[in-house]
Amino acid sequence: MELYDMLRPMLELSASLPAIILCFLPMKNHLSSKGKLLLLWGIPTLILWCVGMGWLCWRFRYSTKLCMLLTQALLLLFYCKAVPLSRWKTVNVFLAVCGVFSGMYNLAILIDALLFRRSGAVALSLNSTILYVLLCWLLLGILCYPATHAARWLLDEVETPETWYIFWILPLVFWCLNTTLRPRKYSTLYTNRVMHFYPILILALLGLMLLYYALFYWMARGIAKNIRLSQENKLLQMQTAQYRTLQKSIADTRRARHDLHQHFKALQGCVESGDISKVAAYVKAYGESLPPDTIHQFCKNYAVDAILHHYAEQALLQKTDLEAVVQMEEQTIIPEPEFCSLLGNLLENALEACAASKTPRFIRLHIRQRGTLYLTMDNTSDQPPLSDEKRLISSKHDGFGIGTESVRMTAERYNGDARFEWKEGVFYASVMLSSADRQNPPSVNQTVFSQKISEKSEFPIKAQKTVNL
């Protein structure tokens, strides 16, 4: 009998094992080597923890509720340490799992009350505890596919920070409801018509939780699709503008070549007449009539080149010096729309900061791609950006994207990193992205394009060379 009493709290606490496994399933693509090592040691440690805490509960007659809360708190700290994602995402996933598993506990209480009529305090029998653990593992099996597909997609694709700032509220509410609605004594369930309504309430909460998660998934897909279409539309507009500029320049060049024959005849007449001053005046007038040389190339990738060209024009309009050194291939190492969104966010934020600056305005951009893509950007910024603890707060409500948090999430999704710092009137941004296809790294033969653009220049090419890395 004592053995049964000792096994009951151990088994009850062991339900945290399928819960933490479910938390890690959507994070498969985001676990670093350090995270995998922590997980490898964490599972056996959790088993030993459940055995030890269960023995203490049995030996000193402690309630498993306090031990379960302590276990959940420690698991949350371990989870946030092992997963290199934003804390908002990890907390959301953890609370969602806690909400569902708390519903499983109430369901076990209901089954225990129906099968074993008792009047004392609510404490699962050994048989009901075994049933509870089996329900948790069954739930893990049922939710395995949604966790590895739908939930993983949410973590990978939904970059809107506001979504994750709000999403945690309802899972927390579900967890609190499941905890507070739990009766303190079995006798409460048998009074009046409580036993008739309690099963309906428990099943309704479980259904509402699953419905809420399903609705959130479909709404997130719609929002992500709209954001992607908006970004692609703006990128297309930039490419179209760049194409029209190229067409105009080609047309001007064709007209100049067509008129060149007549100009040669006029110059020949001046030379034959011996009037050198007329030749000099004619050449000067002809040079002034030529269209400005606006044909330039930042990089081989047409979409990225269009992005840079667009913001270079914006920099000229607001009298901001822009220097760009770009070293990359035609194909970006991550999907092209995502990289363009990331680059557009950084450039738009930089131009916005420069526009409000009273000091000399500048933007220095460096991009280098070789298997891993490195991007750094420095820009003038008189005031430090708003921040909430370690997170920057963007004051921009429109534009290409949603700012630095979007950049950070994109970097996390591709096993990279994004860091931002303000120091002595300059804002520093650095981004590292790993290749989406590690089996096919880009070629090591790359072309470096260096552009320095200011209000005194018309996009001159500062340097252009091919290097072997």
Q: Is the pLDDT of residue 376 over 60?
A: yes
How far apart, in Å, are the Cα atoms of 72 and each of 49, 123, 179?
A: 12, 19, 14
The percentage of residues in the chain with a pLDDT greater than 90, rounded to a whole number, is: 11
Tell me, what DSSP letter sits at residue 150?
Answer: I
Per-residue pLDDT at 51:
92
* Confidence grade of residue 261 (pLDDT, cut at 50, 70, 90): low
Note whether 347 and 388 are within 8 A (CB).
Answer: no
Cβ proximity of 455 and 319 under 8 Å = yes
Q: Give the model's pLDDT for residue 301.
A: 82
Give the angle 326-332-336 at the CA atoms, nearest 5°: 115
- Comparing 11 with 387, which gets the higher pLDDT? 11
Q: How far is CA 402 from CA 225, 407, 456, in A?
A: 15, 8, 32
pLDDT in tens, 161-216: 667 777 788 888 888 888 888 888 888 888 877 788 888 888 888 888 888 888 88
Q: Residues 267-278: what's their mean pLDDT?
A: 74
* Percent of the chain scoring above 70 in pLDDT: 79
The number of CA neighbours under 13 Å toward the Cβ of 363 is: 28
In three-state secondary structure terms, 300 is coil
Nearest to 302 by CA among 314, 293, 310: 310
Residue 316, pLDDT > 90, answer no
Residue entry with tokens 């296809």: 437
Q: 38-42, 187-191, 240-244, 267-271 — which is least confidently predicted?
A: 240-244
Of 30-39, 98-107, 189-198, 339-348, minimum mean pLDDT range: 30-39
Which residue type sits at 233? N
Instruction: Report DSSP letters for 374-416, one per residue.
Output: EEEEEEE-SSPPPEETTEE-----SSSS--HHHHHHHHHHTT-
Work out the pLDDT band at 148, boundaries 50, 70, 90: confident
Cross-strand pairs, 451: 324, 461
Count other Cβ atoms within 10 Å, centred on residue 323: 16
User: What does DSSP assign to residue 26?
Assistant: G
Place of tokens 């400005």: 292
Average pLDDT, the chain: 78
pLDDT per position as a tens digit, 61-116: 887 888 888 998 999 988 888 887 778 888 888 998 988 898 888 888 888 888 87
Q: Which residue type is seen at 107?
A: L
Average the pLDDT over 26-36 and give the result.
75
- Binned at pLDDT 50, 70 and 90, residue 364 comes out as very high
CA-based diameter of the chain, in Å?
125
pLDDT for 136 beyond 70: yes
Q: How far apart are CA 326 and CA 366, in angstroms?
A: 6
pLDDT-derived band at 141 (thresholds 50, 70, 90) equals very high
Q: Which pair of structure tokens corresponds to residue 342?
A: 């990331």
| Helix axis angle, 194-273 to 276-289, nearest 10° | 170
User: At residue 45, what is the residue type?
Assistant: T
Q: Which three-class secondary structure state does DSSP give residue 426?
A: strand
User: pLDDT higher for 176 or 461?
Assistant: 176
Beta strand pairing call for 426-433 and 372-380? antiparallel
Asked if 374 and 325 touch (Cβ cutoff 8 Å), the reply is no
What is the C-alpha to C-alpha distance for residues 161 and 402, in angstroms, rounded to an integer? 8
Stated pTM of the model: 0.60
The residue-averaged pLDDT of 263-288 equals 73
Q: What is the CA radius of gyration of the chain?
A: 32
Tell me the pLDDT band of 392, cut-offs 50, 70 and 90.
Answer: low
Instruction: Reply yes or no on whether the pLDDT at 235 is more than 50.
Output: yes
Cα 203 vs. chain centroid, distance in angstroms? 35
Instruction: Output helix, strand, coil percentages for the chain, rounded to the nearest 5.
Output: 65, 15, 25
Decide which of 467 and 225 is more confident.
225
pLDDT digits (tens, 9 = 90+) for 403-455: 677 788 778 778 788 888 888 889 999 999 886 544 344 443 444 455 555 55
Check residue 159 and give its pLDDT. 67
User: Which two three-digit tokens encode residue 317?
Assistant: 């309009």
